[in-house]
């Protein structure tokens, strides 16, 4: 019987090498994917920082131009007032000369007519002097805004917001949805560090809106600024914990600086800020709400990780019951996708309270 040779068994056969190479290929693929995501994120951060730097430079240039124009306008009014005063002095001297001179009857009648004309001209010059003085005060007051802000001027007229009141409460939504207008971008941004969340374009617009509001309020107004997500936080400056006059320039700057350090995160609870507004003493006579949609949770907190539109409407209806009675509510809405009922409900709130409603363009304020 013929002998058969036995097959040698090797631990490094073809199947084992296939497994090894497949594992190695998987590792290489994973490294490539992670490296690509890291590069993309780094490029996005660089783009955000570059955009922010360009905008700051543009704002600085426009602000400097605004100050120069304001100073030139004040100088023009001062020159106009000086000219009118000199003309008035000349007319007064001529009037005194006419009255003191000895003339005949015909000359006296002519002089009296001249005196009457001079007196009429004097009254006209006095009126022009009052108008010029008022314009000078208005120009100087415009240069005394609490914070210089690009795009002030006619934008107050165009928006139709109620920028008045002795005590103005500004409520700023600082939830995660204020990071972007699209949900997928909100999810992407909210996992970033605080520094990058503060630099989100939508949040920076909200902070700029607060600056615009403060800059355009009457100088007799006082403010409080609260920001809210799942809870409400009262911003304070210096020793002041109550109503802060807008003419307290250093404290207002400190207040805005604190708001700029807020990094949006968490859900949206409208009950807490509305309750806080109701308990203020003395109460606000004007409320400005800056938000992007209906609440996502109530006073009891979030019951699940998701919420539908009908539940958000119920939370909103519960929240508005806590608003102070008789106080106008002015809402500035930066809309987010997936919340179609927000605009109509906040518009109805403005109508019911005697306030206003605004959905600004992306380049406002």
The pLDDT, as a whole number, for residue 292 is 92
Q: pLDDT band at residue 8, thresholds of 50, 70 and 90? A: low
Q: Count the neighbouring beta carbons within 10 Å of the beta carbon of residue 86.
A: 10
Tell me the CATH number for domain 147-358.
3.40.50.410
Sign of the CA dihedral running 122, 124, 127, 131: negative
DSSP secondary structure code for residue 143 in this structure: T
For the chain, how many helices (H) and strands (E)?
10, 7
Considering the chain, what percentage of its residues have pLDDT values greater than 70?
80
Considering the chain, what percentage of its residues have pLDDT values greater than 90?
30
Cβ-based burial of 360 (10 A; exposed 0-12, middle 13-18, buried ≥19): middle
Q: Which tokens belong to 346?
A: 């906040």
pTM of the model: 0.60
How far lies 81's CA from each of 94, 125, 144, in Å? 20, 10, 21
**Range with the lowest mean pLDDT among 155-159, 179-183, 219-223, 273-277?**
155-159
Across the chain, what does the average pLDDT equal?
Answer: 80
Q: pLDDT band at residue 14, thresholds of 50, 70 and 90? A: low
- Considering 4-18, 24-38, 139-153, the range whose residues carry the highest mean pLDDT is 24-38
Per-residue pLDDT for 260 more than 90? yes
Per-residue pLDDT for 1 more than 50? no
Helix axes 342-353, 309-320, angle to 10 degrees: 20
Q: pLDDT band at residue 34, thresholds of 50, 70 and 90? A: confident
Q: What is the pLDDT of residues 118-174, one digit of tens each?
A: 778 777 877 777 777 776 666 555 544 545 444 444 344 445 676 778 999 999 999
Residues in Cβ contact with 70 at an 8 Å cutoff, skipping those fewer than 6 apart:
139, 142, 143
- Stretch 79-90: mean pLDDT: 80
Rounded distance, CA 222 to CA 165, Å? 8
The pLDDT, as a whole number, for residue 206 is 93
Please tell me which residue, 187 or 2, carries the higher pLDDT value. 187
The pLDDT, as a whole number, for residue 153 is 40
Sign of the CA dihedral running 129, 131, 132, 134: positive
The pLDDT, as a whole number, for residue 198 is 92
- Stretch 99-125: mean pLDDT: 71
Sign of the CA dihedral running 174, 176, 177, 182: positive
Q: pLDDT band at residue 240, thresholds of 50, 70 and 90? A: low
Q: Which tokens belong to 31?
A: 């490294």
The DSSP bridge partners found for residue 233 are: 227
Cα angle: 327, vertex 331, 335; to 5 degrees: 160
Give the residue extent of every domain in the chain: 15-144, 147-358
Q: What is the pLDDT of residues 307-361, one digit of tens each?
A: 888 889 999 999 999 999 889 999 999 988 888 889 999 999 999 998 899 888 8
Enclosing H/E stretch for 116: helix 105-142
User: Could you tell me if 304 and 328 are in contact, meaning their C-beta atoms sit under 8 angstroms apart?
Assistant: no
Number of residues that this document lists for the chain: 365
Per-residue pLDDT for 212 more than 60? yes
Q: pLDDT band at residue 238, thresholds of 50, 70 and 90? A: low
């Amino acid at each position: 019987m013929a002998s058969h040779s036995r097959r040698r068994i090797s631990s490094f056969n073809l199947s084992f090498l296939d497994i090894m190479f497949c594992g190695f290929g998987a590792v290489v693929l994973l490294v490539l994917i992670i490296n690509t995501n890291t590069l993309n994120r780094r490029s996005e951060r660089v783009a955000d920082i570059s955009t922010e730097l360009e905008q700051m430079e543009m704002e600085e240039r426009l602000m400097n131009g605004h100050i120069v124009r304001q100073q030139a306008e004040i100088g023009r009014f001062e020159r106009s007032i000086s000219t009118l005063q000199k003309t008035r002095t000349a007319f007064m001297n001529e009037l005194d000369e006419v009255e003191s001179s000895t003339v005949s009857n015909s000359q006296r009648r002519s002089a009296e007519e001249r005196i009457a004309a001079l007196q009429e001209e004097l009254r006209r010059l006095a009126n022009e002097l009052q108008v010029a003085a008022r314009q000078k005060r208005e120009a100087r007051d415009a240069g005394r805004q609490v914070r210089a802000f690009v795009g002030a001027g006619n934008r107050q007229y165009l928006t139709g917001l109620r920028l008045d009141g002795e005590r103005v409460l500004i409520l700023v939504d600082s939830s995660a949805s204020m990071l972007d207008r699209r949900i997928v971008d909100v999810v992407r941004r909210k996992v970033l560090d605080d520094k990058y969340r503060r630099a989100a374009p939508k949040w920076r617009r909200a902070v700029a809106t607060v600056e615009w509001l403060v800059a355009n309020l009457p100088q007799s107004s006082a403010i409080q600024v609260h920001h809210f997500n799942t809870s409400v936080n009262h911003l304070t400056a210096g020793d002041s914990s109550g109503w802060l006059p807008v003419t307290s320039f250093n404290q207002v700057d400190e207040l805005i600086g604190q708001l700029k350090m807020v990094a949006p995160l968490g859900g949206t609870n409208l009950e807490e800020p509305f309750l806080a507004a109701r308990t203020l003493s003395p109460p606000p006579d004007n409320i400005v709400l800056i938000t992007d949609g209906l609440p996502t949770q109530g006073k009891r907190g979030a019951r699940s990780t998701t919420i539908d539109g009908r539940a958000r409407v119920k939370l909103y209806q519960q929240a508005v019951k806590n608003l102070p009675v008789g106080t106008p509510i002015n809402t500035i809405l930066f809309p987010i996708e997936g919340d179609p009922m927000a605009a109509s409900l906040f518009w109805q709130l403005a109508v019911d309270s005697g306030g206003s409603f605004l959905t600004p363009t992306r380049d406002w304020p």
